[in-house]
């Protein structure tokens, strides 16, 4: 098991560093813009944004937020981080199941004295370690950004909650993509369907922010399981925390069952 995890971490290190670099630029570089929004220019930015259609504001993650406040601006920035986390999670989940098929190395790894479940567990754990580290670094980079620009950190709780929210949303997409990759014989189909589900979820998240009565949409859009205004207020939706974990368990259970029956010759 340990050797499988180490191998997964070694193979995925270059990609992880690439995504981490992007995360640092997004978080640290993005926070620099707060200085401009918060500058005393005599212009009320919220009045300007209120002139745009609500759906346009929602597309940029700014619905119902005061971006001139530190919490509101950070929430907008984290909406992009959340999207990045979801995409990275899909990549990790898909690769955990299908990398051997793509690299044509499945004959080597599956002839070792290990059960399929053991191999899949090791590969999933490798991806989960990278996902968890990615979300922790999100919080670390956020704190570093505030220190670099001399911004008083009044959102410690919000930073912590966003890191946790990113992880929970990430494991939903991670387990979903792993499941879909086991259900299709061709790995690229599983990847395509996973990406389509993400796009559908993003579209629903925009609808969620645009509509006043949106409760019925929430279970279908992981990107809004944890509403920005609640996280800014230091509140965390425990119901959807549990819902995220339940979805993860269901998706991974299906993935294990399907993986046991998968035809490894189907490349």
Across the range 6-25, mean pLDDT stands at 93
Distance CA 212, CA 54 (A): 11
Contacts of 106 (CB under 8 A, 6+ apart): 100, 264, 267
**DSSP 3-state assignment of 264?**
coil
pLDDT at 3: 81
What does the mean pLDDT of the chain come to?
A: 87
Contacts of 26 (CB under 8 A, 6+ apart): 77, 80, 81, 84
* 178: confidence class by pLDDT, cuts 50, 70, 90: very high
Residues 142-152 have pLDDT tens digits of: 999 999 999 89
pLDDT at 108: 47
Residues 29-38 have pLDDT tens digits of: 989 888 876 6
> Domain map of the chain by residue range?
2-261
Across the range 206-214, mean pLDDT stands at 84
pLDDT at 39: 58
Lowest mean pLDDT among 37-46, 80-89, 118-127, 196-205: 37-46
Residue 126 Cα distances to 16, 92, 133, 228, 232, angstroms: 11, 9, 11, 30, 32
Across the range 155-179, mean pLDDT stands at 96
Structural contact between residues 110 and 116, judged by C-beta atoms closer than 8 angstroms: yes
Residues 88-141 have pLDDT tens digits of: 999 999 988 887 665 555 544 555 557 778 888 989 999 999 999 999 999 999
């Amino acid at each position: 098991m340990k050797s499988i995890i180490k191998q997964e971490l070694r193979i995925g290190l270059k990609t992880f560093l690439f995504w981490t670099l992007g995360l640092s630029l997004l978080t640290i570089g993005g926070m620099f813009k707060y200085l401009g929004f918060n500058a005393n220019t005599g212009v009320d930015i919220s009045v300007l944004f209120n002139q745009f259609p609500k759906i346009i504001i929602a597309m940029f993650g700014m619905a119902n937020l005061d971006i001139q406040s530190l919490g509101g601006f950070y929430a907008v920035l984290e909406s992009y981080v959340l999207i990045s986390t979801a995409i990275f999670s899909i990549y990790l989940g898909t690769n955990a199941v299908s990398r051997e098929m793509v690299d044509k190395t499945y004959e080597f790894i599956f002839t070792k004295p290990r059960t399929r479940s053991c191999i899949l567990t090791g590969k999933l754990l490798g991806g989960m370690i990278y996902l968890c580290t990615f979300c922790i670094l999100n919080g670390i980079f956020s704190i570093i950004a505030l220190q670099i620009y001399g911004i008083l950190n009044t959102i410690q709780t919000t930073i912590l909650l966003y890191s946790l929210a990113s992880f929970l949303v990430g494991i939903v997409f991670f387990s979903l993509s792993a499941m879909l990759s086991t259900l299709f014989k061709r790995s690229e189909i599983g990847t395509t369907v996973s990406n389509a589900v993400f796009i559908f979820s993003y579209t629903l998240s925009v609808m969620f922010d645009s509509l006043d009565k949106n409760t019925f949409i929430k279970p279908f859009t992981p990107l809004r399981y944890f509403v920005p205004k609640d996280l800014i207020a230091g509140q965390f939706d425990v119901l959807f925390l549990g819902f995220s974990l339940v979805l993860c368990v269901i998706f991974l259970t299906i993935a294990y069952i399907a993986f046991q029956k998968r035809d490894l010759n189907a490349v």
